[in-house]
Amino acid sequence: MHDPVLLKTILSNFSPSPGNNFIDCTAGEGGHTIPLAKAVAPNGKVLAIDADSEQIANLKSNLEKEKIENVVSAHGNFKNLKQITAENSFPPADGILFDFGFSSWHIENSGRGFSFQKNEILDMRYDPTDKSIPTAADYLNSASAQDLEKIILEFGEERFAHNIAREILYARRKKTIETTQDLVNIVLEATHSRGKINPATKTFQALRMVVNNELEIIKYGLFAALDVLKPKGLIATITFHSLEDRLVKGILKEWAKQNIGEVVNKKVIKPDYIEIKRNRRSRSAKLRIFRIL
C-alpha cells in the first residue's frame, strides 16, 4: 500500500469521530480509507470507491488484514457518485475526499502502460473492464493530427506538441503503435531532447488524461458531491498538476461566490519538507478544502 499523501492534514481537517460517515472517491489500496474507517468505528462507515476493479480487490485484501468491517467498497467512477451512494444506501456524508493523482500501483503493478520506464502495452485505462473506453494505443492509432496536437499541447503543456503529433502519424503509417517504448521512441525522434526530465513525460500525462476523460470527470464528481454531503460537510481535493488545480480552484471559488459554502483554507495546503522527504510522490500535491452551508 502506497504512502497516502497529506494524511495527517486531511484527518485534522475532517476530524473523524465514532459515528461519522465519509466517502473516499479514489480509495485505491486504502491509504486514506483505512485511517478514516478506524477513526469512525464502530458505528460510522466509509464508502470506498475506485474505478479500477483490481484496486478494489487490493483494498478488500488490506481491509481483511486490518480486520476492518465498516468500509463499503464500490467499483465505479466517482462521476456517478450520487448513483453509487444510492445503490449502497449510504447516508449523507460528513466529508468526501478526492485524490486526483494516479497511484504508484498503476505505475509499478498494473501492466497497463502508465509509465515510460517500463515497456508495456499502451492501455492507460483506470477501468479496463469498461470496453466503451478506447485504450491509449487505440487513440494514438486513430486520432487526427489536429486532435493529437491539441491534447498534447493542452493536457501535457508540451511545447513540441506539433512535432510529436506529426511523428505519431508518420510512425503509425509504418507500424501500429502498441507499446510504451513505441511512444517513447516517437517522442525522442520528435524532440531530440535528452534533458533531466524524460521528454515523454508530458505526452504520457496528456494521453492518460484524454483516455480517462480526467478533467470532465473531476467536474462531474465535485458537483455530485454537493448532493451527498450533510449540511456543513467537507470536500477535500488533492491535485497534482496545474490543470487539475486550476479547475478545482475555479469551481470552489465560484461556489463560494454563489454562497454554496466557503473555502476552508484560503491558501493551498502543500506537504511539508518531512513528508516530501519520506514520500517524493507528494512533492507536487495541493490540498483544497471546501465546507458547504
- Amino acid making up residue 68: I
71-75 and 286-292 beta bridge pairing:
unpaired
Q: Which residue do the cell numbers 478533467 mark? A: 215
* Cα–Cα distance measured from residue 121 to residue 129, given in angstroms and rounded to the nearest whole number: 16
Report whether 182 belongs to an annotated binding site: no
Report whether 31 belongs to an annotated binding site: yes
Cβ count near 83 (within 10 Å): 13
Cβ contacts of residue 170 below 8 Å, gap of 6+?
Answer: none
Report whether 32 belongs to an annotated binding site: yes
* Cα–Cα distance measured from residue 58 to residue 60, given in angstroms and rounded to the nearest whole number: 6
Report whether 99 belongs to an annotated binding site: yes
* Residue 261 grid cell: 459554502
Report whether 30 belongs to an annotated binding site: yes
Q: Is 4 left (phi over 0), alpha (psi -120 to 50) or beta?
A: beta
CB 224, CB 82: distance < 8 Å: yes
* Cα–Cα distance measured from residue 89 to residue 231, given in angstroms and rounded to the nearest whole number: 18
What are the binding residues? Answer: 30-32, 50, 78, 99, 106
Q: Which residues are annotated as a binding site for S-adenosyl-L-methionine?
A: 30-32, 50, 78, 99, 106
